[in-house]
């Protein structure tokens, strides 16, 4: 029978898990940025890549503070989210609709990370590691800001343009985004409003698509 598991054991395990996830994101974010058509989206993904490098560094620092080796454990959750994102990039042509899909995939990853860092921060505090909690809190705030930035981009025009784009529009999406300011607004707004409400159902949707 295994030894009794302590909260510290689970904490170290989860830190290893998210370290693996963050390193996977270091590889995925440049691919997402390359696939994005919107310069603003590309820029947001690139700046989150820089932040993600810092997230890895903070986790390594946390392991140091805990006197534990910075080992990784496969993060199946983020691996699945990243895999679905890269499938979408492979299966769809570059353009504004794919941009909306890239945002959706990016937000799925951010929400996953927000859940992980929120829990880990609470566990760090409960275990008396306020120094580690502070590191995790800095990362949590950046994940939240990245998620909000993606929402902003979706609501500021990408969803609208995607809703009114037609098949084969990939090359002139930027022009169309300017011209079709009002088209599809209703659909985009309802999609934006529904985002929070559907956050829970997203996971089951992801499952049902597999
Ligand atoms: Fe991160």
Render pLDDT for 49-91 as a digit per residue (tens, 0 to 9).
Answer: 999 999 999 999 999 999 999 999 999 999 999 999 999 998 8
> Which tens digits make up the pLDDT trace of 106-164?
999 999 999 999 999 999 999 999 999 999 999 999 999 999 999 999 988 888 878 88
Secondary structure of 152-193 as H, E, C letters: HHHHHHHHHHHHHCCCCCHHHHHHHHHHCCCCCHHHHHHHHH
- Count the neighbouring beta carbons within 10 Å of the beta carbon of residue 70: 15
> What residues are neighbours of ligand 1 (ion), with CB under 5 Å?
52, 55
Instruction: Round to whole Å and give the CA distance between 199 and 191.
Output: 12
Class of domain 7-156: mainly alpha
Do the Cβ atoms of 180 and 160 come closer than 8 Å?
A: yes
Are 178 and 202 in contact by the 8 Å Cβ rule? The answer is: no
Give the predicted TM-score (pTM) of the model: 0.77
Distance 167 CA to ligand 1 centre (A): 34
Query: In 10 A of CB 75, how many CB atoms?
Result: 24
Q: 26 CA distance to ligand 1 centroid (A)?
A: 9
Ligand 1 centroid to Cα of residue 125, in Å, is 20
């Amino acid at each position: 029978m295994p030894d009794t598991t302590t909260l510290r054991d689970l904490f170290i395990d989860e830190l290893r898990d998210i370290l693996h996830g963050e390193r996977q994101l270091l590889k995925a974010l440049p691919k997402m940025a390359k696939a994005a058509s919107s310069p603003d989206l590309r820029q947001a993904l690139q700046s989150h890549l820089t932040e993600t490098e810092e997230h890895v560094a903070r986790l390594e620092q946390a392991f140091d503070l805990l006197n534990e080796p910075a080992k990784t454990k496969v993060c199946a959750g983020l691996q699945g989210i990243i895999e679905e994102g890269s499938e979408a990039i492979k299966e769809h042509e570059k353009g504004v609709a794919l941009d909306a899909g890239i945002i959706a995939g990016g937000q799925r990853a951010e929400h996953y990370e927000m859940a992980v860092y929120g829990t880990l921060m609470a566990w760090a505090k409960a275990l008396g590691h306020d120094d580690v909690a502070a590191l995790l809190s800095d990362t949590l705030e950046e994940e939240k800001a990245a998620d909000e930035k993606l929402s902003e981009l979706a609501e500021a025009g990408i969803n609208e343009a995607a809703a009114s784009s037609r098949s084969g529009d990939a090359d002139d999406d930027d022009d169309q985004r300017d011209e079709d300011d009002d088209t599809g607004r209703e659909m985009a707004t309802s999609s934006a409003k529904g985002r929070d409400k559907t956050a829970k159902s997203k996971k089951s949707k992801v499952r049902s698509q597999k």
